[in-house]
Structure 1
Amino acid sequence: MNDVMPEGEAIRLFAVPITDELTREAVAVLGRFRELAASALSVEDPEEFEQNTNSLFRKEVAEIDQLGEPLAAERHKLHDMLIDTADLTTDNALDHVRALEHDLVMQPPPVWSPLTLSRVVMEGVLFSEYLLDSTIPLNRRLARLAGIWRTDATYALKQAEAYGQEPAEAGQMLAYVEDCLQKCQAVERHDRRGKINGYSFGSESAALDLNITERATAVMPNWLPAPYRLTSGVSHNRPWMIGRARDLAGGNGLAGEAATVMAAVMVALGSIEVTVNAFGKYFGVDVSEEQQHMEDERTAFLYRAIGIAHAQ
């Protein structure tokens, strides 16, 4: 359907109701992106893959080998955990892409839930990209993982305490993390009040956790402006954002619009592109073919979606 806009006012794309045709196209492109990501992130022979001497991954393994024992063994454990953590957050992100596909086709159409799901996709990808960032040295990478691990252990402690566990039992994970990091010779960094705010390995350091807002601004595709802020208002249930759905419904409940679907899909597509790019650079895998397919698919989807939402 057409938008009726006052003369001289810019046309607001996708400020129209959600249609079945649009959601079918959205679900299809998300599925194709997941398939392309699976192709890019998979290897036929893991052992051969890990021995790729041209990869940053393999160079870092060799760098750790030079440290001597027992430090090398402890650093290898931390490095292995870093890879596992990046895999875990990526897998969770892709699982939420599947959830988004199902969410888009529910009846009546969704309102804000697609943006909430796309935020989880983006956060998972930003964690993995932060750890696999090919522009940083090994020691900073380890410092980043140390900070995230310590932060997670603190969250686990707070949850255990909330469940009423005894202090000794509740603090087991944090004690284990601190012991492992000490064996790895990770040095705690503290603020002026003496509170820990990060870790250092040699001359390289990192904060306790990543700033997701800043990370999204830095690494998400430039065709996707302020994606984290866009999804934040919805995920935190802020009235300034979600109130539009009531206005669209004319005060009778909430109503979604095509713009929400498009925003959620573009956040998810951009997130998948980021993780494929990070994976390829870190592990020395040529993902250029999948990247080109993704760009072509995304562009074609956008043009199809405009035609559907603003059909004459």
Structure 2
Amino acid sequence: MNADAAPDPRRLGVPKEIVDEGARTLRHACRSLNEFVEGLAEGKSVDGMSPADAAWVRSSHHRHRAARSRLWAWAGWNTQLTLGNILDHVQAIQRTLVGEPVAIWSLVSLSRVVQEGAIRVCHLYEGGIAPERRAVRIAAAWLNGAQQHQVAAKDVGAQAVPGADKIWEYAERTVQRAGMSIGLNNRGRPSSAVLGSVQEQFAVSLTNLAAKRPTHLPAWYRISSAASHSSVWMVAQAFASDEDDEPVMRADPEIVTASVLAVLGAFEDLVETLGTYHGTDPHQALLTVRRRTVAVLDRQRTWRHRAQEDARLLHGNDNL
């Protein structure tokens, strides 16, 4: 390495305060989210349903009532599992941040899982939609998961198929008993849940949904997808050379900060959506998430300003 050459910023690693504060922020955010979710039971929801949804189920024909209640029970169970998966991945991000050296694309991929889970949950509990729409949306999500299970079972082996088929049959039977039908695609394969004029496709575009969720970083879902799938245009940006001119990957403070912000944005979406749906005032919890977001941005601005000052001193150029 030429001692007179300007150092590659990626060789310098990520400032300790960026990663330590990022890990601390996520640790506290997880605790806050857990406390908020546990408090949802004290809200105004009835058996996991908003008053409007519960009234719709109660007013349903007696033949459909039990199955429709079961849809919301499945949604609650699905949400519980998804939140567990989200928190598990945030804990993995924390461990990655305090590692040495700090990884880069694993942070991005882990934050993608958090974002996807939040988007799926908030899609089910989206505010302002009619109970009929929510019921069909829940049914479509349930059937979609059961259908994916069947596909995976065939790859695992013949011994896994019967169990997956039973899961599909139970979901299908529940949806039909709830007064819905299952729409087919042009190949004759089940692809949507239908109730009267209301229809929801099994598969949803998470990219489109992410663009509609105000607290998610607009480009992050695509960026994280590129990282998770090892797209060359993305992962090549993290490569540098070590002291022996060997290729290595170096974390970047901007990526670390963006990963933390993606998690905080997902948490904000969950708090607002679930709190509003279950009748629990999300205001204080939202303020907590937003204060942490502002603190993360302030740290990043401070680091960027210091890096610019260091570059001016290093190069002796006030125009940098």
Report how far residue 170 of structure 1 moved.
Answer: 4.5
With 117-126 and 13-22 compared, the bigger mean Cα shift is at 13-22
Gaps of 5+ in 2: 1-8, 310-320
1:111 and 1:196, CA in 2 relative to 1: closer, same or farther beyond 3 A? same
Residue 194 of structure 1: how far off its partner (Å): 3.3
Contact kept? 2:213, 2:269, Cα under 8 Å: yes
What is the 5 A alignment of 1:164-179?
A: 164-166=157-159, 168-179=162-173
Q: Is residue 64 of structure 1 aligned with residue 57 of structure 2?
A: yes
One-letter amino acid of the structure 2 residue matched with residue 106 of structure 1 = G
> What per-residue deviation string (whole Å, max 9, x for no partner) do you get for residues 56-101 of structure 1?
7122112101113231011111121112212321232122112111
Cα 1:269–1:68 change in 2 (3 A) is same
Q: Residues 154-196 of structure 1, C-alpha deviation per residue, up to 9 Å, x if partnerless?
A: 2211222222225545522222222222211221223344333
Residues 120, 15 of structure 1: alpha-carbon distance in 2 compared, 3 angstrom cutoff: farther
Query: 1:253 aligns to what SS in structure 2?
Result: strand
Of 214, 221, 224, 2:215 maps to: 221
Q: Secondary structure at the match of 2:194?
A: strand
8 Å CA contact 1:110, 1:256 repeated in 2: yes
CA RMSD across the alignment? 2.5
The alpha-carbon distance between structure 1 residues 194 and 25, as it changes in their structure 2 partners (threshold 3 A), is: same
Alpha-carbon contact 1:37-1:272 (below 8 Å) kept: yes
Correspondence list, 1:103-114, <5 A: 103-114=96-107
Superposed CA offset, 1:10-47 (max 9, x none): xxx99973122110111121122223322322228x37
Residue 22 (structure 2) aligns with: 26
Note the 1:172-251 alignment, pairs <5 A: 172-221=166-215, 224-247=217-240, 251=246
Contact preservation (8 Å) 1:17, 1:256? yes
Matched to 1:236, the amino acid is: H
1:6-85 correspondence runs (5 A): 17-43=13-39, 46=41, 49-51=44-46, 57-85=50-78
1:255 is aligned to: 250
Q: What's 1:277 paired with?
A: 272
Superposition deviation, residue 237 in structure 1: 1.0
Letter of the structure 1 residue corresponding to residue 134 of structure 2: R
Aligned residues: 296
Pick from 68, 90, 93: which aligns with 1:97? 90
Seen in structure 2, the aligned counterparts of structure 1 residues 309 and 229 have a Cα distance that, compared at 3 Å, is same
- TM-score with structure 2 setting the length: 0.84
Q: Deviations over 1:118-167 (max 9, x none)?
A: 00000110110010001211121121222222121122112222222255
- Structure of higher CA gyration radius: 2
Q: Secondary structure at the match of 2:67?
A: helix
Kindly, what percent of the aligned residue pairs are identical? Answer: 25
CA distance in 2, matches of 1:51, 1:198: 27
**Equivalent in the alignment of 1:128:** 121
| Alignment partner, residue 295 of structure 2 | 300
Q: Is the 8 A contact 2:13 2:251 kept in 1?
A: yes
